[in-house]
Amino acid sequence: MHNMNETNMTSQSQLQFSEARMAEIRELLTHYPENQSRSALIPILHMAQSDFGGWLSVPVMDYVASVLNLLPIQVYEVASFYSMFNLKPVGNYLIEVCRTSSCWLCGAEDITAHLENKLGIKVGQTTADGLFTLKAVECLGSCGTAPMMQVGANYYENLTISKVDSILEELKKENKYSRYC
């Protein structure tokens, strides 16, 4: 998980991948045939979301379009299709609780209700301090270890109320940012 303290505050004029990221992107582009650099769009959107505050603003998407020499609309179309791309700001930690069948069977609704209670927000909302956003998501492939939630790239499984409490405490203490990559 990256600590993105600095980049989170990036203003629009400063939109620029770091040199390390650019190197990563150059390597990424070698994965695809020369005339197919568009293939790198989703991986680069992940990077942009991680580096520029956890969500994809229009300037961020336009920047990605310029990196890949795409029309901005081609980026908007893709970014708005996939559920992992946030088109609105999210809290430092995005908590995603699975709600589909097996997780529901094993008590996911109790976990969500507890999180709502504890954080004082409803699903889809962000805490006033901007620390947590709560999201209900569809099956994350953790059905045998249900109920579960994902925070950044981390899976938290076999959740109980007390386990959720200690995870929240830990996240607060760390005071970082949840990112997928």
Partner 1 sequence: MPKVTIDDISIEVPEGTTILEAARMIGGDIVPPAMCYYSHLQGTGGYCRTCIVQVTQGSEKDPRPMPKPVASCRTTVMDGMVVKNTTSPELLEARAGVVEFLLINHPLDCPVCDQAGECHLQDLGYDHGKLETRSEFPRREFEPIDIGPHIKLHMNRCILCYRCVKVADQLTDGRCHGVISRGEASEISTYIEQAIDNDFSGNMIDVCPVGALTDRTFRFKSRVWYTKPVDAHRDCPTCSGKVRLWFQGDDVIRVTSRKDEYGEVTTGPEGNPEWICNTCRFDTKSVHDWEIEGPSHIQRQSVISANHYESLKALKVTTERMYDANPHGTKVDLGEGALDPNNESK
Partner 2 sequence: MSAKILLALDHIEGIASLPVYAQHGGYAVLKKVLSDISPQQVVEEVKISGLRGRGGAGFPTGLKWSFLARPEGVPRYLVCNADESEPGTFKDRYLMERNPHLMIEGMIISSYGLGANTAYIYIRGEYFYIARILEKAIKEAYAAGYLGKNILNSGFDLDLHVHVGAGAYICGEETALLESLEGKRGNPRIKPPFPAVQGLYNCPTVVNNSETLAAVVPILDKGGAAYAAIGIGKSTGTKLISASGHINRPGVYEIELGIPVEEFIYSDEYCGGIRNGKKLKAVVAGGSSVPILPADLILKTAEGAPRLMSYESLAEGGFQTGTMMGSGGFIVMDEDTSIVKNLYTFARFYHHESCGQCSPCREGTGWMERILHKILDGHGSITDIDLLWDIQKNIDGKTICPLGEAAAWPVASAIRHFRSEFEEYVLNPHLIEDVKHYYRLQTT
Q: Which of 147, 123, 141 is nearest to 133 (CA)?
A: 123
127 binds partner 2, rule: CB under 8 A:
no
Residue among 11 and 83 whose Cβ is closer to partner 2: 83
CB contact at 8 A, 40 and 17: no
Instruction: Write the binding mask 33 to 62 for partner 1: x where contact by CB under 8 A, - elsewhere.
Output: -------------------------x----
The residue within the footprint of partner 2, chosen from 46, 118, 163, 176 (CB under 8 A), is: 46
H helices of the chain, where? 5-8, 19-29, 41-51, 58-68, 72-79, 101-105, 108-119, 161-174
The residue within the footprint of partner 1, chosen from 11, 35, 81, 173 (CB under 8 A), is: 81
Q: Which of 52, 45, 115 is nearest to 84 (CA)?
A: 45
Given the rule CB under 8 A, which of 6-14, 67-75, 102-110, 120-128 is the region that contacts partner 1? 67-75
Residue among 73 and 153 whose Cβ is closer to partner 1: 73
Residue among 32 and 82 whose Cβ is closer to partner 1: 82
Burial of 122 per CB tally in 10 Å (0-12, 13-18, 19+): exposed
39 binds partner 2, rule: CB under 8 A:
yes
DSSP conformation letters of 2-24: ---HHHHT--GGG----HHHHHH
H helices of 120-160, where? none
Which of partner 2, partner 1, none has residue 153 at its interface (CB below 5 to 8 Å by kind)?
A: partner 2
Burial of 100 per CB tally in 10 Å (0-12, 13-18, 19+): middle
Residue among 57 and 178 whose Cβ is closer to partner 1: 57
Residues at the site binding partner 2, with contacts judged by CB under 8 A: 31, 33, 36, 38-43, 45-46, 68, 77-78, 81-85, 99-102, 104-106, 109, 138-146, 150, 153-155, 180-181
Residues at the site binding partner 1, with contacts judged by CB under 8 A: 58, 71-74, 76-77, 80-81
